[in-house]
Structure 1
Amino acid sequence: MKLTFGYIRRSSYKQIENNSVEIQKSQIKDFANRKGLELPDEFIVIEEATSAYSKRANQRKELMRLREMMVEMNVPRVIFYEASRMDRTGYTFVLDFYRPLMSKLPNLEIYTTNSDAPFNPDNEYNKIALLIAMQESEIKSERATSGLITVLENNDQIIHPGSKIPFGYKHVKKKLVPDENAEIVTFIFFLQSWGVSMRKIATILNDASISAPLGGPGELVR
């Protein structure tokens, strides 16, 4: 039997509740069996809490590790659950993963579980699938941002009960009113909604010289 790799990506830790990894693994294994491919458990690569929209393909550590393993072991096959697990930018998977592999593994076969034919970036169906995945993420991003802005702007509904004032707000007549740090709060929520870890968010804020409420590096997200 021909060996193959499998790649699983969990967008965020919220997907733990809906068994995202288990569902992807089951479908990938079933596909391998149907195709007569051997997929050992150690050949299944899992990318934890990583957005394929905010990060291009070459910024996804496990995907790049997979690329290296495929070349080193001369295994030119890998199975993804669907196009959205490959990419949500619309193009970086092809540039950073597919074409570099194709240059070293001419017999490259990349599959998704919903098609028996290998992935071909020049195929119209595959182009549309990647564009749809990108559009879905753009819509989710816009909705998340719009929702946060609406909450921040709708001051009449933000009643402060008297506990400690959260960062990004000031207390005016028993109501929370956004202050000069409100945009930072919105930015943190946006990053977290796409699965960026607290440690990574702290690094981003520290690199941007954004002061924490208590003055210490990284305190802002603790």
Structure 2
Amino acid sequence: MKNVVGYVRISSASQIDNTSIEVQIEKIQMYCSLHNLNLVKIYKDEGISPKNTDRPNYQDMMEFLGSEESNVDGIVVYKNDRLHRSLYDLLGMIKQLKEFKVDLVSITEMFDTSTAQGMLFLQMLGSFSEFERQLIVERTKSGRLAKGEKKLYPGGKIAFGYNLVDEHLTINYDEAEIVKDIFKMRCKGITYTKIAQKYSMSKQRVCYILKNRLYLGKYKYEGKVEKNKIGFDVPRIITSYTFTKANKIE
């Protein structure tokens, strides 16, 4: 009987496609039972994107498979995108597994990497997953641009001091008073630490507020990857004079 481990993952977006953690575990257990495989352990990452390998249980699994203590012959997953959506990352993992002499089995796609056909099919599926991910990026970019052109908030966390009403940024007056006071205190030379203590927030958050040019009434979104270059006017909270003075204090 071959020893295998299972890997399951879910992100908030994947809950809508009937691949819950429970469903994945059930399918893996059933597959192992039908194919006379000894399921040693199931590694589980919840609420984590597959964009990179910075996933605690994924890392634990790979570390274990590469260790001398491992007697595992394969990994069983419900679907290959539970591991990686990026073809580059997926093939990199397969190469590493080959060094460990560990095969990969995907239940839904009906392949395993112990065969040449399985490897070919894996690369094809990986290509489609990568294509799908790029389409999502393009749709997101187009959606942000469309909203930006209409001067609508394109998405993301709302800055302290503002509310989002009908996709427009409006002033949250209670929070805006705190923002104004933070700038005034800094203009007087009061340290980030003391300001943070007054409002029970982190020093880093105080610094972020003081550097945020949104309070000048100018919203800009570049996007490190998307390069959207969205910009439009929003209600101002801080004057240019106060902003400049607060940020000149050493």
Interval of TM-score (by shorter of Structure 1 and Structure 2): 0.5 to 0.7
Is 1:150 paired with 2:146?
A: yes
User: Greater relative contact order: 1 or 2 (C-alpha under 8 angstroms, separation 6 or more)?
Assistant: 1
Is 1:101 paired with 2:125?
A: no
Q: Structure 1 or 2: larger strand share?
A: 2
Unaligned runs of 5+ in 1: 172-176, 188-214, 216-222
Does structure 2 conserve the Cα–Cα contact (< 8 Å) formed by 1:148 and 1:186?
no
Secondary structure of the residue aligned to 1:3 is strand
Q: Percent identity?
A: 19
CA deviation map 1:33-58 (0-9, x unaligned): 11111225xx1001223322x32x4x
TM-score (norm 1): 0.63
Q: 1:184 to 1:170 in 2, by over 3 A?
A: farther
Secondary structure of the residue aligned to 2:87 is coil
Does structure 2 conserve the Cα–Cα contact (< 8 Å) formed by 1:82 and 1:113?
yes
Alpha-carbon deviation of 1:134?
A: 0.9
TM-score (norm 2): 0.57
Unaligned runs of 5+ in 2: 153-165, 177-211, 227-246
| Partner residue in 2 for 1:77 | 74
Question: What's the RMSD between the two structures over aligned residues?
Answer: 3.5
- Counterparts of 1:88 and 1:31, CA distance in 2: 23
Secondary structure of the residue aligned to 1:91 is helix
- Counterparts of 1:44 and 1:78, CA distance in 2: 9
- Bigger Rg, structure 1 or 2: 2
Aligned length, in residue pairs: 174
| Partner residue in 2 for 1:87 | 84
Q: 1:115 to 1:136 in 2, by over 3 A?
A: closer
Map 1:1-222 to 2 at 5 A: 1-10=1-10, 12-15=11-14, 20-40=20-40, 43-52=41-50, 54-55=51-52, 57=53, 59-71=54-66, 72-95=69-92, 97-105=93-101, 108-119=102-113, 123-155=119-151, 158-159=167-168, 163=172, 179-180=219-220, 182-183=221-222
Does structure 2 conserve the Cα–Cα contact (< 8 Å) formed by 1:5 and 1:78?
yes
